[in-house]
Amino acid sequence: MKTIFEKDKGISGINLCDGDLECDFLKDEFKRKSQLGLPNVSELEALRHYKALSDRNFCIEKGFYPLGSCTMKYNPKVNELLASLDGFVNLHPLVEDSDCQGALELMFKLQEALKKITGMDYITLQPAAGAQGELTGMMIIKKYFEVKGEKRSKVIIPDSAHGTNPASAHLCGFDIVPVKSNEKGQVDIEALRSLVDSDVAAIMMTNPNTLGIFEENVLEISKIMHENGSLLYYDGANFNAIMGYSNPKLMGFDVVHLNLHKTFATPHGGGGPGSGPVCVVECLKDFLPTPVVAYDGNRYFRDYNIKHSIGSVKAFYGNFSVLVKAYAYILMMGKNLKEASENAVLNANYLKEKLKQAYYLPYDEPCMHEFVLSGDKQKEYGVSTLNIAKALMDGDTHPPTVYFPLIVHEAIMIEPTESETKEVMDDFVSIMLKIADDAKVCPEKIISAPHNTPVKRIDETLAARHPNLKFVQE
């Protein structure tokens, strides 16, 4: 495919400052003194060029996207329509509460829905992403102990945790204490007991964890931490597995962040807006960011009267359009949110059973919404997990997360979500089994993949450190 510059034929679209037409509305100091250097193509040619570029991108509308740990589920298009309603998109964030009652009502009702789904008592919708939700939660925990007059300096984090967990805790000044996993891929209880002391502020956990395994001893963990005066933080990245069946409050957690761009079907990736609401139990309500959306029986309003608030964590009130989409999804699904979790778990276990003979399964346990294979069997033939991921691209499938969690060698984390049909998953199984067979008989085919994509194999280290964005004709 040619670059837009190679399509330059000296033809241009409308130019308001061409020929005899003077740009009188611009002062001379703002006028360009040299040529801009843009390609000269017609409007139609420009549209065709960028449409062709977009067609080369892979997206969930084009094929299977089993990106483990990220819940890349389908985003209903009706949500985009609702978020684009004039009353939402043209609402200025600085208007008075009396002039935005509809928006405040939507946010309040979303808060109530998320509180019911999580079982928690209070909530903020401000954080703009899961990682910012983590940071907000850890700031709340830090302020909680400061107000109590306790100088707790440690946060315990499982060795399979998301990388943002230790980063968020460390940004708040905590020392990170890792706790190892046992042979079942769960937190080692005895190892945890040995780490708990008066300096421990909290433990950060994901349940089900990043191996896709439910922590069977979560109530024991909660008891250990609470008896020590410590708190429990719930990373909601994997919440798509438990909706309607359990919730963080039942497990004993004190702080929860949710990824609306994962569990609640709002767009994810591409640098767009996310949302990471944080829910807390009763004893932490006075530490939430200001303002929170409240209702006094007559009107909805932004409440700044929070005694020990950590302050605002996002300009205005979070990413409002994402909140609209999440609320629309919840209304559309209703009690079917439980069915979404059912199907996500069913799909993951189906794929696990279909693939565990061809690929090594380090933790052969019933999984929840995702599971982790290993490419160690294929490594014996010189085929790495990265090679497997590249080969999947030839089958019109987005590669799953690879090399994470770090406790699994040559890890392949697969999450089908509830959105996919059995036929789609069977196609994926066929592709994965074909890759496993080819790794034995013709490994060079897998090692040189992908073969059918617009961009072929690249030196990833070189590309990351020294990107060359110039066009190279193949």
pLDDT given at position 174: 98
Half-sphere exposure of 385 (CA within 13 A, CB side): 20
Q: How far is it, in rounded angstroms, from Cα 38 to Cα 428? A: 43
Q: How far is it, in rounded angstroms, from Cα 343 to Cα 9? A: 53
Q: Are 122 and 280 contacting, i.e. CB atoms less than 8 angstroms apart? A: yes
Q: How far is it, in rounded angstroms, from Cα 84 to Cα 303? A: 27
Cis status, amide bond into 443, omega within 30 of 0: no
Torsional sign, CA 414, 419, 423, 424: negative
pLDDT given at position 20: 52
Question: What average pLDDT does this structure show over 139-163?
Answer: 96
pLDDT given at position 37: 81
- For 161-183, the pLDDT digits (tens) are 998 999 999 999 999 999 999 99
- For 266-289, the pLDDT digits (tens) are 988 666 788 999 999 999 999 999
- For 336-386, the pLDDT digits (tens) are 999 999 999 999 999 999 999 999 999 999 999 999 999 999 999 999 999
Question: What average pLDDT does this structure show over 136-140?
Answer: 98
Q: How far is it, in rounded angstroms, from Cα 180 to Cα 165? A: 15
Q: Which pTM was predicted?
A: 0.91
Q: How far is it, in rounded angstroms, from Cα 105 to Cα 118? A: 20
Sequence-distant (6+) residues with CB within 8 A of 290 are 303, 304, 306, 309, 311, 312
pLDDT-derived band at 23, boundaries 50, 70, 90:
low
Question: What average pLDDT does this structure show over 211-221?
Answer: 97
Q: How far is it, in rounded angstroms, from Cα 198 to Cα 283? A: 19
Q: How far is it, in rounded angstroms, from Cα 258 to Cα 237? A: 7
- Chain position carrying tokens 């406790």: 407
Q: How far is it, in rounded angstroms, from Cα 354 to Cα 424? A: 13
Could you tell me which residue, 72 or 353, shows the higher pLDDT? Answer: 353
Question: What average pLDDT does this structure show over 293-307?
Answer: 97
pLDDT-derived band at 40, boundaries 50, 70, 90:
confident
Domains and CATH numbers, the chain: 1-56 (no CATH), 91-333 (3.40.640.10), 341-465 (3.90.1150.10)
Measured at the alpha carbon of residue 429, what is the angle toward residues 461 and 235, in degrees to the nearest 5?
60
Q: What amino acid occupies position 260?
A: L
Q: Is the pLDDT of residue 64 over 70?
A: yes
- For 242-253, the pLDDT digits (tens) are 999 999 999 999
pLDDT given at position 473: 47
Question: What average pLDDT does this structure show over 423-442?
Answer: 98
Where does residue 204 fall: left (phi above 0), alpha (psi -120 to 50 degrees), or beta otherwise?
Answer: beta
| Structure tokens, 128 | 């703009």
pLDDT given at position 28: 82
Question: What average pLDDT does this structure show over 403-408?
Answer: 95
* Residue 263: count of CB within 10 angstroms of its CB: 27
Q: How far is it, in rounded angstroms, from Cα 15 to Cα 2? A: 24
pLDDT given at position 22: 60
Sequence-distant (6+) residues with CB within 8 A of 6 are 471
Question: Mean pLDDT over all residues of the chain?
Answer: 93
Measured at the alpha carbon of residue 378, what is the angle toward residues 407 and 207, in degrees to the nearest 5?
30
Q: What amino acid occupies position 402?
A: V
Question: What average pLDDT does this structure show over 406-426?
Answer: 96
Q: Are 319 and 254 contacting, i.e. CB atoms less than 8 angstroms apart? A: no
